[in-house]
Amino acid sequence: MKHLVSLLLFVLLTDKYEGAKILGVFILCGKSHYHLGNSLMRGLAEAGNDVTMISPFEDKDPTENGSYRNVVLTGIADGYEDHLKRLNLFGGNDFNSFTHIVGFHKSVYSQVKRAFDHPNVQKLLNSNEQFDAVIIEQFSNDALQVLPHHFNAHFIAFSPVGSYYTVNNMVGNPTMTSYTPGFITTFSRDMSLFQRIYNTLLHLSQCFLEYFVLLDKYEKLLTEYFPSAPSIYDLHFNASLVLLNSHESLGQPVPLVPNMINIGGFHVKPPKVLPVDLQRYLDEAEDGVVLLSFGSNLRMHNMDEGKRNALVNALGKLKQRVLWKWESGYDFELPPNIKRVNWIPQMDVLAHPNVKLFVTHGGLLSQTETIYNGVPVLVIPVFGDQAMNANNAVYDGYGLSLSYHDPQFGEAKLTAVLEKLLSEPRYQENAKRVSRLYHDRYMTPMETAVYWVDYVIRHHGAPHLRVAGVKLPWYKYCLLDVFGVIVISFGLVIISLVFLLKCILKVFQNRKTATKLKGS
């Protein structure tokens, strides 16, 4: 009996979920990046963990379970709004170019330095506090990878764009440039020979730039800030887990090593009740509603006037109501069916059954929300990964794409595309089909994230999930040494054969001359 009681007590005590101490590091100022980080860390807190979050913004809402502490990078986001207003992201295609990548690296480098210098971060660094796991948003900010080491914690990386070359390299996952277009290209998964050459060269140069230039710069930065830390090249390849903001329903399927986990959609909350006036506006739309939003970074007043008018005119001709997110710089008459709003509870509007179409820039978050609700899309990609997301929507048949930079972008083309999307039922059907695939998972994406973070802590960094390839030097990983030996051996065999053939020919020829001489 006594044994039974102690056994029962033991079971009760050990079965109780012990929350872990988890640090989140999301230093980018972009609203969508913060939104992802905040959702993930809040989810981990609600699951009973003790969460600390380093980010440019503050989340003051109390949590029901666990705890959520902000370490705010005060001042870092100041001026970012003005910067966005000035920075015309509609401006041109060169955001996808190689020079832009270099510029982006430079800007992130200075953000990392500012984060290290920040008094709130310094206070945490000098606090002797320890964590069980540190989750870092991976976006060219590799010096932050010293933090798991500093806090004696397991390193978990979070990729906002799913699997891509950096996180792939970190855990030894293949990047198949034969069928996975780089996320800044405009290619679809069926690439021509030229596109595959371009895609491969882009990939190689990005890897080169990151490995030999960026990491080298961060190595020097670390010797300045963390003199006793291991080399960045050791820290970089030591991630226990990579959480990917992706899922097969949101993009194409790709190979993933065991410690890469899809959690795409974790930031989406079930729809909430709409504000009364918006609810009425949507309810009363007999012919349905078209929702239009270019996300949080693109500003309507930066849009080319001709293209904006084309869009207004094409949408003005529809019988549907149009709800347009338009922040500022609004100074002219809109057609009667278009309603302009400063801000939209996008997720909750998309959930309304009268919403027939979503005109979007194709940001991954918007794309996820539209799939959650099974709403077809017209994607107007502008920069970054948007063209890739647009291609996925076209491939899966729940949308059409018309690039903002397409020379054909005009009223006639837009009218035709809108007409097609609103009249043909297959777009709606495919949106519903992909939505079913999105929802059909054995755990919700947030539960998946919570489970795997806990798993890594339970199993002390889960080294058993790491593929051996992560320890190999790159030339061995790519089998360059093997191919080298094969090519050289093959060459030697050919050379020997040629030599042998020449000898035989010579002997033959000598004999011929000899017989000729004899005969004459």
Ligand X SMILES: *[C@@H]1O[C@H](CO)[C@@H](O)[C@H](O)[C@H]1NC(C)=O
Q: Supply the minimum distance, in Å, between the C-beta of residue 49 and ligand X.
A: 11
Rank residues 65 and 97 by Cβ distance to ligand X and give the closer one: 65
CB-nearest residue to ligand X: 461
Q: Supply the minimum distance, in Å, between the C-beta of residue 344 and ligand X.
A: 25
Q: Supply the minimum distance, in Å, between the C-beta of residue 64 and ligand X.
A: 4
Rank residues 107 and 152 by Cβ distance to ligand X and give the closer one: 152
Q: Supply the minimum distance, in Å, between the C-beta of residue 325 and ligand X.
A: 29
Task: For residues 233 and 409, give the distance between their C-alpha atoms in angstroms, rounded to a whole number.
Answer: 46
Site for ligand X in 345-404 (CB under 6 A): none
- Helix residue ranges per DSSP H, 317-396: 346-350, 364-373, 386-395
Q: What angle do CA 352, 354, 358 make, to 5 degrees?
A: 80
Enter the tokens of residue 427. 């777009």
Task: For residues 267 and 245, give the distance between their C-alpha atoms in angstroms, rounded to a whole number.
Answer: 9
Site for ligand X in 47-76 (CB under 6 A): 64-65
Q: Supply the minimum distance, in Å, between the C-beta of residue 343 and ligand X.
A: 25
302's CB contacts (< 8 A; 6+ apart) are 85, 88, 89, 90, 91
* Residue 23, strand partner residues: 52, 134
Q: Supply the minimum distance, in Å, between the C-beta of residue 481 and ligand X.
A: 26
Rank residues 110 and 228 by Cβ distance to ligand X and give the closer one: 228
Residue 461 binds ligand X (CB under 6 A): yes
Rank residues 230 and 484 by Cβ distance to ligand X and give the closer one: 230
Task: For residues 174 and 293, give the distance between their C-alpha atoms in angstroms, rounded to a whole number.
Answer: 35
Rank residues 76 and 170 by Cβ distance to ligand X and give the closer one: 170
315's CB contacts (< 8 A; 6+ apart) are 290, 292, 322, 324, 335, 337, 338, 359, 414, 418
Site for ligand X in 220-259 (CB under 6 A): 230, 234-235, 238, 240
CA torsion sign for 318, 353, 272, 244 is: negative
Q: How far is CA 264 from CA 14, 258, 448, 449, in A?
A: 31, 16, 10, 10
Among 35, 46, 274, 395, binds ligand X (CB under 6 A): 46
Q: Supply the minimum distance, in Å, between the C-beta of residue 112 and ligand X.
A: 18
Rank residues 228 and 423 by Cβ distance to ligand X and give the closer one: 228
Q: Supply the minimum distance, in Å, between the C-beta of residue 443 and ligand X.
A: 14
Rank residues 238 and 346 by Cβ distance to ligand X and give the closer one: 238
Task: For residues 268 and 327, give the distance between their C-alpha atoms in angstroms, rounded to a whole number.
Answer: 23
Rank residues 157 and 387 by Cβ distance to ligand X and give the closer one: 157
Rank residues 147 and 422 by Cβ distance to ligand X and give the closer one: 147
Rank residues 67 and 88 by Cβ distance to ligand X and give the closer one: 67
Q: Burial-class residue 430 by CB neighbours within 10 Å (0-12, 13-18, 19+).
A: middle
Rank residues 239 and 380 by Cβ distance to ligand X and give the closer one: 239
By rule CB under 6 A, what count of residues binds ligand X?
Answer: 11
Q: Draw the binding track, 135-154, toward ligand X (x: CB under 6 A; -: no contact).
A: --------------x----x
Task: For residues 272 and 384, give the distance between their C-alpha atoms in angstroms, rounded to a whole number.
Answer: 30
Q: Supply the minimum distance, in Å, between the C-beta of residue 270 and ligand X.
A: 12
Site for ligand X in 151-210 (CB under 6 A): 154
The torsion angle over the Cα atoms of residues 123, 126, 131 and 135, rounded to 10 degrees, is 60
Task: For residues 52 and 45, give the distance between their C-alpha atoms in angstroms, rounded to a whole number.
Answer: 9
Q: Supply the minimum distance, in Å, between the C-beta of residue 143 and ligand X.
A: 14
Q: Supply the minimum distance, in Å, between the C-beta of residue 21 and ligand X.
A: 14
Task: For residues 319 and 306, give the distance between their C-alpha atoms in angstroms, rounded to a whole number.
Answer: 23
* Closest to 49 measured CA to CA, from 76, 23, 22: 22
Q: Supply the minimum distance, in Å, between the C-beta of residue 235 and ligand X.
A: 6
Rank residues 230 and 275 by Cβ distance to ligand X and give the closer one: 230
DSSP string, 404-456: TT-TT-SHHHHHHHHHHHHH-HHHHHHHHHHHHHHH--SS-HHHHHHHHHHHH
Task: For residues 202 and 175, give the distance between their C-alpha atoms in angstroms, rounded to a whole number.
Answer: 12
Q: Supply the minimum distance, in Å, between the C-beta of residue 19 and ligand X.
A: 11
Rank residues 90 and 131 by Cβ distance to ligand X and give the closer one: 131
* Residue 321, strand partner residues: 289
Q: How far is CA 240 from CA 148, 198, 307, 459, in A?
A: 11, 32, 47, 10
Binding site for ligand X (CB under 6 A): 46, 64-65, 149, 154, 230, 234-235, 238, 240, 461
